[in-house]
Structure 1
Amino acid sequence: MKYLKIAVLTLAFFSITYHVNACTVAVISGKYTKDGRPLLWKNRDTPAINNQIVYFNDGKYNYVGLVNSKDTQGKSVWIGQNSTGFAIMNSASYNLNIGDNTKLSGLEGRIIKEGLASCATIEDFEKYLDNLPIPTRLEGNFGVIDAQGGAAMYEVNNKGYVKFDANDPKVAPFGYIIRSNYSFMGSFGEESSGYLRSNTANELFYNAMATNTFDVQFILQDVTRSLKHSLTKDDLYRDYADIPENTPTYSFFHDFIPRRSTASACVVQGVKKGEDPAFTTLWSIVGFPLTSIALPTWVKGENDFPDVLKRNDKFNDAPVCYAALELKKKFFAIRWGKWAAKYYVNINALINKDNTGIYQKIHPFENEIFKITNQKLDVWRVNGMKKSDLKAHYNLLNQLVVNMFDEEFDIDLN
């Protein structure tokens, strides 16, 4: 922990503008999911909209995670998993240090990286937090799962942290803990944010729990990309689905779970206690989620994961992120007016009566990725995961995505 203390004290100049970050996150106990495996979800909202997946072998444990494409040295990770099945993510919180003027470090990504490199269990992460200097110069929520069935959210402030255990029915009666940009141990009011996103996620989670449909695909397709609004009761998919293609139709777009600033979305699917941690899967939608596609990665595959997820010098970005941002321009189509460009979207570009919207074209390909990957996982859980088989699966997925963007959108990722 000595390195972390030094980092927090001496590397504050790497921090970014803290309060422009907004995320919606959750920890889900395996006791309540469809297949009995814990889940860790993060919708990442940040000005750093160019993202990539990176494999690391620079610590006690090897790990894979989501990294800013401009962070070519991999100094920070924003959600990831390691070879022991330990996974971690974060969201900024704005109501934990009210009245405390201690300057924040902005080093949450460094802490996630350090946690992935050195922790195998949530108990290890608690010891890690215990060794932070006080004040911590942090204000955020950290969600973790491990291969022993652990699933918890930690609210970290300048004085320490408070643990919320997703396995404790007194804390999480339905097995999940949701956070956006506030913490339950903080004050509630204008100083915090994300209540509407959190409430929308809670409504969707509750319905999935009640109908036993709680799995990775549900989160990435029905929550991450949800266009339901818990306050206004709008549902943009429902409200605009019957309008013919090529009919520009604009809608106000604010306080939905996906936002203009949503850079990526990831879910870590953990393992049941006793299963090989190698099966822990990082499902990532790299790039703006409404115009990108979900792909899996495993630590055992090392750096052989799909090239479309890796930073490419041609694009200065991961190719799939580049493609998603190109398509995002059709959704955020207004080019003039500060607020009009920010808050109004052409919903017809995303969905329409003729089923030619951006997400409508992506959806069947993504369904195929989930189908063939889940089939592979079922086989691997019985026979073991061979690197050669894993590499072949990666190559298949990579070609599928390259072909889709070329054939459906005329975007060349080669």
Structure 2
Amino acid sequence: MIKRNIIFLFYFFSVLESFACTSAVISGRVTENGRPLLWKHRDTSAEQNVVVRFSASENSYAFVGLVDSRDTKDTAVWAGYNSEGFAVMNTASYNLKNDTFAIVDKEGVLMKEALGKCRTVKDFSLFLENYPSVRGVEANFGVIDAHGGAAYFEVSNSEIFRFDVKDSPEGYLIRSNYSMAGRKDEGLGYIRYENAQYLLSPVAVKKGLTPEYITGHVSRSFYHSLLGKDMSRTGDNWVVDQDFIPRRSSSASVVVEGVNEGENLQMVTMWTLLGYPPCSVVMPVWLSAPEGVPFLLSRDSTGVSSFCNRVVGLKHQVFPLKRGNGKYYINMELLFGHRSLGIVPQLISLEEYVYRESRIFMREAEKNGGFSGLNVSFFMDRISQKILAAYDRLEISVE
């Protein structure tokens, strides 16, 4: 009976955490190039995401953002940055709310509005203070700007708590699905928080954090802090999907690489993994370039990203069991290939190519004073075709 109860609770919490996210706000003090980073590993019931460009208006900055494909009117943005170098993302919190208001889940609406209005972290603080009293949110909002600002704001309908990265001795802050200012031992994601801490800390000490490390390693890591082991290296064919950073519900991972005071705002980049991160490949997004949102990350004629659709298809092969509780089991052999060629090792080499070529192009843009005059469209098309060809050649061994 005790064993049955434990199994029931295990899967009960698996369902609860299907709307989880893991994130970090990282100071340039601990990054390889001295620029700040804003990371969000998104978990949601929406498998299909796209990147959307929002044009400037008389009362709004231009910005790009991660959007649910099913949100056809693009009413909510779940991570993004604007033309002023301000970036924002969130994780849901489950230990802050102390009211019974019916208005909930408005975090994406709030962030879309903030991207249009805010230039700095200070602006965002004022924006929150002046926002309608019933905000409809319970979240940890992470923000960076182009003036050295980097912080989390833990926000409910009635309270705002600010945590600045400059006050962190580690040089970064992490949030999952509980708030530091919230009710003790409530909320979700305590193990994921420790997973992220384990993965970020030793690299931060060496001032070596990069988008490459975060998307290539952290968002694909199956390290489990409570068990003290990386479950992708145990040699087990099947592993239960519980308390890892990448989860069955993971739909994207984005890292906004900001700039420092006085640097060219055009160099802000949103490195984007669409779909289930272990089965995806990163692409750069540049707001300042007219062709800076790759077609692979945009909606096609069917209303979704064809590339994201392809990644989701791979995810369904990694989680192939449908009956009973089978959906909670990961085919780790298919992902990492202990006895065959796994999906992740094949995609990592492709991702390294994308980063390498993108960095070369960005250095050229920096020397040029921006992307104006450079053939961004040709570059994006070349990278996209390389990715599509690699996915066509992907070797998948299903036992």
CA distance in 2, matches of 1:383, 1:30: 24
8 Å CA contact 2:18–2:249 kept in 1: the answer is no
- The gaps in structure 2 that reach 5 residues or longer are 1-15
SS in 1 for 2:283: strand
8 Å CA contact 2:78–2:90 kept in 1: the answer is yes
CA distance in 2, matches of 1:383, 1:72: 37
8 Å CA contact 2:27–2:165 kept in 1: the answer is yes
1:252 to 228, 237, 240: 240
CA distance in 2, matches of 1:19, 1:371: 35
Partner residue in 1 for 2:188? 193
SS in 2 for 1:299: coil
Partner residue in 1 for 2:289? 301
Deviation at 1:66, TM superposition (A): 0.6
Pair 326,304 (structure 1): closer, same or farther in 2 beyond 3 Å: same
8 Å CA contact 1:134–1:160 kept in 2: the answer is no
- The gaps in structure 1 that reach 5 residues or longer are 1-17, 244-248
Partner residue in 1 for 2:8? none
The alignment's TM-score, normalised by the length of structure 2, stands at 0.91
1:269 to 257, 278, 287: 257
Deviation at 1:334, TM superposition (A): 1.0
CA distance in 2, matches of 1:38, 1:53: 21
Partner residue in 1 for 2:80? 80
Name which of structure 1's ranges 273-282 and 126-135 shifts more when overlaid on structure 2.
126-135
Deviation at 1:149, TM superposition (A): 1.2
Pair 117,291 (structure 1): closer, same or farther in 2 beyond 3 Å: same
8 Å CA contact 2:337–2:343 kept in 1: the answer is no
CA distance in 2, matches of 1:125, 1:231: 36
8 Å CA contact 2:107–2:136 kept in 1: the answer is no
CA distance in 2, matches of 1:41, 1:78: 12
Counterparts of residues 369-384 of structure 1 (less than 5 Å): 369-384=354-369
Partner residue in 1 for 2:170? 174
Identity %: 37
SS in 2 for 1:109: helix
SS in 1 for 2:127: helix
Partner residue in 2 for 1:15? none
Partner residue in 2 for 1:400? 386
Opposite residue 46 of structure 1, the aligned amino acid is T
Deviation at 1:214, TM superposition (A): 0.8
Pair 293,19 (structure 1): closer, same or farther in 2 beyond 3 Å: closer
Partner residue in 2 for 1:227? 222
Partner residue in 1 for 2:204? 209
What per-residue deviation string (whole Å, max 9, x for no partner) do you get for residues 110-142 of structure 1? Answer: 111111111111111111101112243321110
The alignment's TM-score, normalised by the length of structure 1, stands at 0.88
Opposite residue 329 of structure 2, the aligned amino acid is Y
CA distance in 1, matches of 2:17, 2:315: 24
Opposite residue 312 of structure 2, the aligned amino acid is L
8 Å CA contact 1:31–1:167 kept in 2: the answer is no
Pair 41,304 (structure 1): closer, same or farther in 2 beyond 3 Å: closer
1:57 to 55, 58, 75: 55
1:125 aligns with 2:120: no
8 Å CA contact 2:341–2:395 kept in 1: the answer is no
Opposite residue 175 of structure 2, the aligned amino acid is R
Pair 327,161 (structure 1): closer, same or farther in 2 beyond 3 Å: same
1:218 to 208, 213, 217: 213
Pair 304,164 (structure 1): closer, same or farther in 2 beyond 3 Å: closer
CA distance in 1, matches of 2:276, 2:100: 34
Partner residue in 2 for 1:328? 315
Name which of structure 1's ranges 85-94 and 155-164 shifts more when overlaid on structure 2.
155-164
What per-residue deviation string (whole Å, max 9, x for no partner) do you get for residues 203-241 of structure 1? Answer: 11111112332111111111111110000123123212x
Deviation at 1:375, TM superposition (A): 1.6
SS in 1 for 2:141: strand
Opposite residue 167 of structure 1, the aligned amino acid is K
Deviation at 1:360, TM superposition (A): 1.4
8 Å CA contact 1:355–1:361 kept in 2: the answer is no
* Structure 1 segments of 4+ aligned residues over 4 angstroms from their partners: none
CA distance in 2, matches of 1:58, 1:355: 49
8 Å CA contact 1:306–1:397 kept in 2: the answer is no
Partner residue in 1 for 2:350? 365
Deviation at 1:354, TM superposition (A): 5.3
Deviation at 1:19, TM superposition (A): 8.1
8 Å CA contact 1:46–1:263 kept in 2: the answer is yes
SS in 2 for 1:301: coil
CA distance in 1, matches of 2:231, 2:366: 39
Pair 354,306 (structure 1): closer, same or farther in 2 beyond 3 Å: farther
Name which of structure 1's ranges 84-93 and 124-133 shifts more when overlaid on structure 2.
124-133
SS in 2 for 1:48: coil
Opposite residue 365 of structure 1, the aligned amino acid is L
CA distance in 1, matches of 2:395, 2:25: 35
1:38 aligns with 2:36: yes
Partner residue in 1 for 2:5? none
What per-residue deviation string (whole Å, max 9, x for no partner) do you get for residues 315-371 of structure 1? Answer: x4212211111111221021211x222x21110101114561111111111000011
1:345 aligns with 2:344: no
Deviation at 1:392, TM superposition (A): 2.1
Deviation at 1:36, TM superposition (A): 0.5
CA distance in 2, matches of 1:222, 1:344: 21
Partner residue in 1 for 2:375? 389
CA distance in 2, matches of 1:202, 1:259: 17
SS in 1 for 2:394: helix
Q: Tell me how many residue pairs correspond in the alignment.
A: 379
Name which of structure 1's ranges 28-37 and 382-391 shifts more when overlaid on structure 2.
382-391
Deviation at 1:409, TM superposition (A): 5.7
Q: CA RMSD in A?
A: 1.9
